[in-house]
Structure 1
Amino acid sequence: MAHGFFDLNQRASLTIQFLGACGKELAHMAEGVREQCVALFGGFSRVDMDAAKTASGSAIRLRVNAGDAPVKPGVDVVVAMEHHHILENADLLREGVMCLVADTGLEHGAARATSSAERAQVEEALRRCKAWGYWVPIFEELLGAGLPPAAGAIAMQSVLNNLLGINEMQSDLSLQPLGAAQPKAFARLER
């Protein structure tokens, strides 16, 4: 199986921080990624997951550790189901951290659309810390297409699985670059 950029054959550990308002939705997504990590890396890794409440919702941290490697501080990936979770947790951002941020576009008439001003705030926060990532478009149409209420989390999980090399992209989502320049390994994800 081809691994993605975050390949534990090349890295000692990988830490993913999930941020969202709905604890159940977040837990479902994190557990799905955890199960995939156990299946993919479990032979030589330890996979731990812990959850915490935050001022605006929930946070789940998933840590995959290769062998007896010491746990390094900070996170490698931040997954935010709403743009403001990035701004409220800016202490997680540092150079090289990858962020996946849900983007509900104004052009799709969503009730809680991400405005251009809010997008600019997130962009600035990432650039200031030299973090990078993608806006992951999640539209009302996605929820109205017969998919379950957790469709946004499912879309995020699909993108994250692809980045981890767990599977091929399962959707036609068009990812938009965010923050600092993307590593060349990710050029294939952009439309």
Structure 2
Amino acid sequence: MWKPVLLLLLVALTAARAGAQGNTRAPNVIVLLADDLGWKDLGCYGSSFYETPNLDRLAAAGTRFTQAYATSPVCSPTRASILTGKYPVRTGVTDWIRGRQEAGVARPFEKLVAQQTAYQLALEEKTLAETAREQGYQTFFAGKWHLGEEEAYWPAAQGFQVNKGGWSNGAPTGRINDSTGGFFTPYANPTLTDGPAGEYLTDR
């Protein structure tokens, strides 16, 4: 039977804390996922180089996990795993979409040919967002999705009521502040409203 392990764990831990304080409201659940973030790249995890005061405050008021591992070294399979509670091979998303070896051929420097990856998280998969909605939660997604090239597989189809920025691409399509869709408006992202001239994507 499918179980959204991460959500249940977060809710259980937070509910226990709320119960101890006499609070009967359902807890808010926020999951932050950052690609390529090192285990010690935040102040709350011991960084003396990177300054992350806002995340440190959030961690101090919430629950930190200190013994956890990503199921994949790349983005799409990791995100699919967190959303479904399954290993990448169980969802079929085993590489970033479309992957480095989409033709099934390894490059000269690659020693292995990877298993063919799915180009989307199947709609049959039950996500954390779908489970949360069944429990009366409102769901919101912002940022990088990269779990389906067609709109039919974007966040709105996977249980998220609000989607800001999540679509097929894993990164901005351009490189500079022009109409190619770079890190500055116009973003050329169908799920993200453009901002004033010169606005930076992170600020949006």
TM normalised by structure 1 equals 0.34
Structure (1 or 2) with the greater strand fraction:
1
Larger-gyration structure (1/2): 2
Higher RCO (Cα < 8 Å, 6 or more apart): 1
TM normalised by structure 2 equals 0.33
